[in-house]
Chain A
């Protein structure tokens, strides 16, 4: 039998609590034999006190000052013995200078949350109004690594095969129409796994699930009296802690298990999990914001400050995390490794990622160490890394984000140009030809999988609203409609807002189908927004960040109202999965590489082999050669007509003795808008086809 280790005997005692010097690493609170190891970094503190609470009690049960000999370098560590780990909460008091102009904001009166806390208490139940008299709202708790993953691990689905579904944990099932037993939770999503599977998506991207405070900047709408909350959660409190309020079992402290169970079951269904992570700022805001953690622990290390100690605001949220400081960089790395290893997360999408490439003075770096470290990290080597390649400080890096061959990007240019093309703007055919190839102009050295193609995302109009509103309608946000983008490239199809005109609604439905079709035939990684598959609306609100209500939730009744669109989307996703010619890691070479007699891609217009790239054009067609797919596949022809009248398109040959079948025709009513492969009818005239006004047609080559 192994002898008990000498380093787990107490050497000190204070008020009945036994302790000894601890292990400097890992940071955070870690269960060790007979005790808990606490380890914390601060470069400028002069002293540190560990504050221990019984769960939910206002007064601490003990405050233990770290003896100076327990500090090694800038790290305070201590093992405290015989603690009830289930009932424990903890924080720290820091001694040090209060000198804001020098960047220091130590305040011994504050009990601070551990940046490495694996669980953060204080917002255990979603939307339960806090006791505002409380001195400290957020305390660290312990998490246990005893979850039974069985044989699970991250799925490592090839990037080119992904179809991403962007969703909000609460918004996905909070609406009563969701019919789940635990609305608005991780468990709620679990009940919807069969739906996701049927939809065909194989990756869900969750809006932030790191612990945040939904009450941050909360207010009541001046007219309606409705609570406006920090619903989206782009404001992190604890980078290592899952949002407790998103767990049905959060009130019991079981959010870790509930989230892991969700991820495990999604994996069993073949669906990856990607997290939207926010490392550009924290919930502490600027100098007027609350002192929760980082500001009081080591303000100068964690934040980018002006020379006189104010907060740079490249995030638009008050502060900017100092991500390229080596200590913060390590925290980000530790955090992502933790989520990848402990939660089996498959990938990350980085909010305002360009900030991660700024130096400690805010200047963009040519070789940002954090981004490089993430790209080459051994634990993260199979994780998908996706950047929102811009920030609120004006840095726009779509196509130029420092990628190290690893990073993909939300392709904002795909969104903008497809929107313009779809609504019939002229002068965009050339750019569309580039975008549907995976944007080689932007990602030539990375390949098309660097391009996350999307037309809508949480930020902006939903797909239905994109074709129902010319202007944003954000009055419900209580900011006099000043918030949200004015640059939406939307088209209301002739009437602003909801309409009873069948012609208007028909056109909107067709435009939505065009958008989904274009997305699914484009090379790159397609991303759908939650609810777009059945026409979710935010009634023209393009910035619903504060709406924990019907505006922000997914109304599942729309699936019954718009079954045609739902069917079309499912079939379109299936079509993409069925045809490897639509998905590749490589760009087209515009030549015949396999001796099939056809180039891998050829462009056409209303006349075969004569694409019209002139400024007045609204038409484009392309043929993908199945022999170039890498695995057996049919050739595909896609015709896009964004002109307001139907046009005859001369067809290129199907090739190899085959004929063209109609797979998709968005101008036709359901079920003739999209066919399964076996049901698809052959074109009677194999030399030309009429493509209806503002519509798309997809043909597949097959043997008669």
Chain B
């Protein structure tokens, strides 16, 4: 079940072992991403998630912040 979280919660969860996933296309990921984030473009997330992610750890998915 997806839940929206804020920056502080992201940092807390990552420190506790959560997996950080950027879903933007490759050029954006290569330009900049959060430290330790893995790259799974949105279009491929269903096909790749099982191979890339550990289902026993929390997963945090993010894209661009336009705020």
A binds B: no
Residues of B near any A CB (own CB < 8 A): none
Residues of A near any B CB (own CB < 8 A): none
